Chain A
Amino acid sequence: MASLGYYLLLAAFVVCAYAAAISVAGARRRSRALIESGIGAFYLLAAIMAVASAVIVYSFVIGDYSIRYVQRYSDSVQPMFYKLTSYWGGLDGSIMFWVSLLSVFGSAAIYVNRERHRELIPYVVTVISVVEMFFLFLMIVHNNPFQTYLTERPTDGTGLNPLLQNFYMAIHPPTMYLGFVGLTIPYAFGMAALITGYLDDSWLRAVRRWTMISWLFLSIGLGLGMIWAYEELGWGGYWMWDPVENAGLLPWFTATAFLHSVMVQERRGMLRVWNVCLVITTFFLTIFGTFMTRSGVVQSVHAFGDDPELARLFTMFMVTTVVVSFGFVIYRLPLLRARNELDSWLSREAAFLVNNWILLFSAFFVLFATMFPTLSEAVRGERLTVGPPFFNQWMLPIGLTLLLLTGIGPLLAWRKSTVENLRDSFLIPVTLGVVTAVAVAALGVRVWTSGICFALSAFVVGTIGQEFWRGARVRQRATGTDVFTALVGLVARNKRRYGGYVVHLGMVLIFFGFAGEGFKQKEEAQLKPGQQVKVGSFVVRHDALSITDDGQKQMITAHVTVLRDGKPFAEMYPAKWIFRKHEESPTTEVAINRGFAQDVYLVLATFDAATQTASIAVDINPLVNWVWMGFGLLALGIGIALLPDAVFSFATAPLPANAATTALIFLAVVLSQGVALAQDTIPAIFRSPLERQVAGEIMCNCGGCRLSVSDCGMMNCHGKSGQMGKIQQYIAEGKDHDAILATFVREHGGYDVLMQPPNRGFNRVAWLLPYVVAVIALLGVAFTARRWSRHETAAPDAAPIDRELDARLEDELRNLD
């Protein structure tokens, strides 16, 4: 089987090369036969990859441990489901999976567009084939998943990493890959348009749908990754700015920017060069993300280890991509010249420009901060850590600005907003926002960022609600139906716009959930059976500890009762699983009680079987579920936008007005909880504010988590307890915050023990550069805008329209509805 698989990969490479070459030849000689053959070869590639995939999955299922990859990522006791998903559990398999998905996705895109965009197709085939050739080449020379053991054949496998044996982890990579892979399609079409010179808007139309689909997969992939982190890693949060998470986020930013700025091109014919560049950048970032995480350039929980050879190959590919792509852009610059004109800063176009600026800046910032440790090591030879505190500090204002723009953008008119229509359209949303802000302030919310976030959320919901309402009214007047029918008709007629609004609503929910982070409560307590601890309004009682075994793993489960206001609230079972093959890294099985207002999140941190003592970390995470709901709504919105024209139903599912009220109700629920002090039998392990602060800034040195000491969720973590002990000791010695950090750095021998680089010397670059880039980019935007606004508006070429044609036009317009 192994050699069959390898030959299949070789064959795939040959077919790929054939498809690329024959398509170019066909396009240049305008020979239909050659082009058709190229398309056929492309389908053939998909078929071959399907066979190869089936072969490797079969090897996993029958447990062919002579294949290295199978041996390393599965074992005989693994459940069938995880045997199947082990296919993408490691580096080699995931590259192969990537190629398979790309070939299938690409085939679908080519099949759909082969008649409509006949002139682009051969080059699309070429571009995708070349990309696939690179990955196939990687597999053939360097990461062959079918490599076998030369000497004796092991009898059993090592087993998939226990952390990956989680439902969300099983489906997270495929969705993520689909997103990444899907973004190759817009790139291929963009390049085809550049090569052929057919640079009107038709390639954009071919691409928008695919971009939306990939964007959806990317978003859902990110969401699933967050759920996985939340459920499996056991540190109470869902996003820690790990390089791999960032790698997924980077193309997400640029793809989002593209989806927005494409509208400006469709509507006003502006930003044509910019859009091509965005597509190229997005594709580049998907490759760069893969490179970053697969080659060991940056440290990460996901990283597959150091691999300079892989890094070299990837670098070559990336440089080639950039040079060739942007080379074509420069070559075609004359054809891309657009009629750019900006009439006013108070226009939709300008809002889109600012939106693009922020999204691109986010992408740049995340990229920069992720790469900074590597950069610093190269320049200064000093390893640093750029952890969540650094990111949060920056992304908070950026995120809030983006949220604000989400509310402003749709209210602005194209070209120019007059004072009257500003007043008219901003009145309700702004009132809603201000009222929420006042209510939040009156309720005594001390976390001002969350307060602003709530107010902005209300503002955006007001905007979207108003858009739906006014649209429905206009349509009602035009068609003379009832409001409900008008609403359905409204959405059905402009699915992209209203689907987009639903997506915005999803983003609001996500932000609403993020804001809950500000009210998070986190305690840890050492409990004997029968003892309890009070956290917020909840009382957590430890009842018993049980130890069971199912052959694959040992399970230590704490039986915990949670009480609220004296009444039983939930029975919960946080656990630790120790997998036979991976005893050194037990997994945390978090117990979560989900609710609209908050999650009660229990982690069994350490235990002592003899005394039945369990140390339980209790997190009260407010509003987390709104994030997941937001992702759901996001998917729904894209679904609406992608609905085929024939479908005219269900488009009214989201009722923004309702969402506003429910959101406010839950806001009230959350805020009314208040913060009560623990005063029960066992107090939570006491941590002074200073201790908490320092614990959040020092990295746990257990070697795997890359989290701060306060967040590491590993059982009996030697690193954590050691660091914690030191912190307590230094505090007892009377050292202040800076002195403690300095001591840690001295003892550790490097600044990478800190979660964010200290603000001095070369590191100041890390703190300064984002500012500089943001300002320069803003100046750039302003400069271009000014140049555009100086253009004399050309008088519309008022060609006389004959009356008969005009009448027919009116007729067709009526029929269109």
Chain B
Amino acid sequence: MSSETSIKEPAPSLPSWQLFALAGLVGATIVVFVSRGQSPAAIILLSLVVFAAAAVGAAALRTFVPFVRGHEGLSVSIVGGRARAAIDREKTLVLRSIKELEFDHAMGKVSDQDFAEMGLRLRTRAAGLMRQLDAGAAYSTQIEQELARRLAGAGIAAAPRTDRFCTQCGTPATASARFCGQCGQRLESA
């Protein structure tokens, strides 16, 4: 409906849904007029049929729109499975487990030795996740890999991959980089 104003964003799906809701309302109104004389329950149910039919329309649109819509958000294939949010959630869960462990220890359900050992394991894991989040590794490695794959597909040799990391923050760096993209630390030349 208001697609002129939102050319750049992927078209919001709200308008179509509203359209169908409207269609449902109109249809229900017609039904109420047409089926006068029937019991109220029957009229209500007929209206429900109409509304459900409108929902069918909306869902059908939802089914076929992904093919026609050329917006980049949909036409591009998915890269990788896990997003940054997943790591973030993972971290919260590990932190929660640490909390829980501390609580159990206070309740006398975990011996001191176990507490130290399990606590250490969880903390190491949490620290690892935090480091990963800091580095934005979830994104950058994925992008890099995908880029390499596509470039290879296009017959262009990818920039030589190195296993260089920033000495200060651990962010991966390309072979040619002179400064860290994250913290600005000067990188030793390869």
Residues of A within 8 A of B (CB): 18, 29-37, 39-41, 43-44, 46-48, 50-51, 53-55, 57-58, 61-62, 80, 115-116, 118-119, 196, 198, 202, 205, 267, 348, 412-416, 418, 421, 424-425, 470-471, 474-475, 477-478, 493-494, 796-799, 801-802, 805-806, 808-809, 812-813, 816-817
Across the A-B interface, the 4 shortest Cβ-Cβ residue pairs: A40-B63, A40-B62, A44-B59, A119-B81
Inter-chain CA distance A57–B75, complex, in Å, is 41
Chain A, residue nearest B64 (CB) = A37
Chain B 120-156 near chain A by CB (<8 Å), digits 1 or 0: 1101101110110000000000000000000000000
A47 and B55 within 8 A (CB): yes
Closest Cβ of chain B to A32, distance in Å, is: 5
Q: Chain B: interface residue count, which band? A: 35 or more
Question: Which of A50, A196, A415 contacts B110, CB < 8 Å?
Answer: A415
Which A residues touch B53, using CB under 8 A? 51
Which A residues touch B33, using CB under 8 A? none
**12 additional A-B residue pairs with CB within 8 Å, beyond A44-B56, A54-B49, A477-B106:** A44-B59, A44-B63, A48-B56, A51-B52, A205-B93, A416-B114, A418-B111, A474-B103, A475-B103, A796-B117, A797-B124, A816-B95
Question: Which of B75, B82, B95 contacts A33, CB < 8 Å?
Answer: B75
Question: Which of B38, B66, B86, B98 contacts A32, CB < 8 Å?
Answer: B66
Closest Cβ of chain A to B97, distance in Å, is: 8
B5 at the interface (CB under 8 A from A): no
Question: Which of A34, A53, A471 contacts B107, CB < 8 Å?
Answer: A471
Inter-chain CA distance A813–B92, complex, in Å, is 9
Which B residues touch A797, using CB under 8 A? 121, 124
B64 and A58 within 8 A (CB): no
A808 and B130 within 8 A (CB): yes
A202 and B86 within 8 A (CB): yes
Chain B 33-61 near chain A by CB (<8 Å), digits 1 or 0: 00000110110011011001101101111
Known A31-B77, A118-B81; judge A61-B45 contact (CB<8 A): yes
Which B residues touch A809, using CB under 8 A? 95, 123, 126-127, 130
Which B residues touch A119, using CB under 8 A? 81-82
Question: Which of A41, A57, A205, A415 contacts B63, CB < 8 Å?
Answer: A41
Closest Cβ of chain A to B104, distance in Å, is: 7
Question: Which of B38, B79, B86, B96 contacts A816, CB < 8 Å?
Answer: B96
Chain A, residue nearest B61 (CB) = A40
B65 and A40 within 8 A (CB): yes
Which A residues touch B106, using CB under 8 A? 474, 477-478
Which A residues touch B99, using CB under 8 A? 493, 813, 816-817
Closest Cβ of chain A to B125, distance in Å, is: 10
A33 and B66 within 8 A (CB): yes
Known A37-B63, A55-B49, A58-B42; judge A813-B95 contact (CB<8 A): yes
Question: Which of B60, B97, B108, B127 contacts A421, CB < 8 Å?
Answer: B108
A57 and B45 within 8 A (CB): yes
Question: Which of B59, B82, B92, B114 contacts A43, CB < 8 Å?
Answer: B59
List B79-95 residues whose CB lies under 8 Å from chain A: 79, 81-83, 85-86, 89, 92-93, 95
Inter-chain CA distance A243–B131, complex, in Å, is 56
Which A residues touch B79, using CB under 8 A? 30
B52 and A54 within 8 A (CB): yes
B109 at the interface (CB under 8 A from A): yes
Which B residues touch A50, using CB under 8 A? 52, 55-56
Chain B, residue nearest A467 (CB) = B107
Chain B, residue nearest A196 (CB) = B81
Which B residues touch A796, using CB under 8 A? 117, 120-121, 124
Which A residues touch B45, using CB under 8 A? 54, 57-58, 61
A47 and B41 within 8 A (CB): no
Which A residues touch B86, using CB under 8 A? 116, 202
Closest Cβ of chain B to A30, distance in Å, is: 5
Question: Which of B58, B74, B108 contacts A425, CB < 8 Å?
Answer: B108
Inter-chain CA distance A424–B108, complex, in Å, is 9
Pick from B45, B77, B111 the residue with the most CB of A within 10 Å.
B45
Closest Cβ of chain B to A649, distance in Å, is: 21
Which A residues touch B76, using CB under 8 A? 32
